[in-house]
Structure formats: structure tokens, C-alpha cells
Homo-oligomer: A and B are copies of this chain.
Amino acid sequence: MAKIVTHKTASKKETILQKATELFRQRGFNATSMRHLAGAVGVEAASLYNHIESKQGLLKEICFGVAQAFTQQIEAVESGTGSQAQKVEAIIRFHISMMLHRFEETYVSNRDWKHLKEPHLTNFLQQRRDYEKHFAAIVEKGIEQNEFGKMHPHIAVLTILSAVRGIEFWQKNKRGISTNDMENDLVQILINGLAFKQPE
């Protein structure tokens, strides 16, 4: 049942996805109706279904789009060269860039993934667990090589992922701190935080 997707259909779908991302971010997935979405796109609610399958389908695209971006980046980092600290730094900077440049979809994915239906929910959680496992393996290697101090790699990963999500609060109140300074301070705190420290 292949559909012929014309250019016009494809770009309309893009618009709908973008508006849906904005609305989900502002109102939450549950509180966003097809009627809200139609209003934002500027069409009748019924005609949305010419372009998309369902609200659930939109959420799926958002969540898996974000998950895929993170998975691709960590795979590139793993197969690249550099110390484990450099690899962790590249991962942190990628998380920051997602929070800065793909904020709405990253935010929706972080918060609304729980509304995914099966089998997508299980699939999404599996991707997230895999990601964390790969991330923890890089930290673990850094500990073994004495680049990082002795710690549970999963606590390091948790600390980094949580700290990066806090950028959301900086975005609401920047206090005159530039994007560049925010990014560098955050990287400094987290990378120094992991570093092996000579006993005094």
C-alpha cells in the first residue's frame, strides 16, 4: 500500500510535525488535541488526516528522531579517536547543542515519551537504555585508564544527563550569561568532576 508522496504533501507534513512539536512542548502531549494542531497549521481538523496518521504517530516521530540523533552521535564518538575525557566532552557538547538547537523536540522527547504506545514504548526505552550503556562504557574505560576517578559509571552518566537537562532553566532565565559561557562552565564542571585526582 505504498503512497505516492508528492513534494507538497511532504512539506505539509513537515509543517504539521513542527507545529505539533511546539504545541506538545507548550501544552503537553495529552492536553494537545487535533483541533489545536489544525488551528496552529491553519487547516480543518479532518484534513490533517490526509497528511498524518495520528497524534501518536507524531509523538513517535519526535521521540525516535531525537533518540536516533543521540545514538548516531555516540556511535561516531565511540569509533573515533581521542581520550575518554575527550569522548565524554564531545557527548556533553552534543547534549548541550540538542538543548540549544533542537530544544522543543528534545524537551518533548524527554518528557512525553511515556505517552508512546506499545511496541514503541518498549522500543524507545530499549534505545535509551542502550545509549546509557554505551555512555557508561566510555566512562568505565576512562576509570580503568586512570583518566577518571573511582566511581560508579552509571552515577557519572546520570549526573551528566541530569545536569544537561538543567539547561532548560538557564533558557528561562539566562541572567546575562552567554550561551558560550554556559556551555564552557558546564563542560568544565562535569569534566573536572570526573577527573582522577591525585590524593593530597
Contacts and interface: CB of A to CB of B under 8 A. Distances in A.
Interface of A: 149, 151-152, 154-156, 158-159, 161-166, 169-170, 175, 177, 181-182, 185-186, 188-195, 197
A177 B193 contact: no
Nearest to A158: B166
Nearest to A174: B154
Can you tell how many copies of this chain the complex includes?
Answer: 2
Given A163-B162, A166-B161, A169-B162, A175 B154 contact: yes
A163 B158 CA distance: 8
Nearest to A184: B151
A163 B175 CA distance: 20
B166 A186 contact: no
Contacts of A193: 188-193
Contact of A155 (B149, B181, B191, B197): B181
Given A159-B166, A162-B166, A149 B195 contact: no
Nearest to A177: B152
A175 B133 CA distance: 12
8 contacts: A149-B192, A152-B181, A154-B175, A156-B185, A156-B189, A159-B185, A163-B166, A165-B166
A163 B159 contact: yes
Given A149-B192, A189-B194, A177 B155 contact: yes
B190 A159 contact: yes
Nearest to A197: B192
A130 B159 CA distance: 25
Which has the most chain B C-beta neighbours within 10 Å: A149, A164, A170, A185? A185
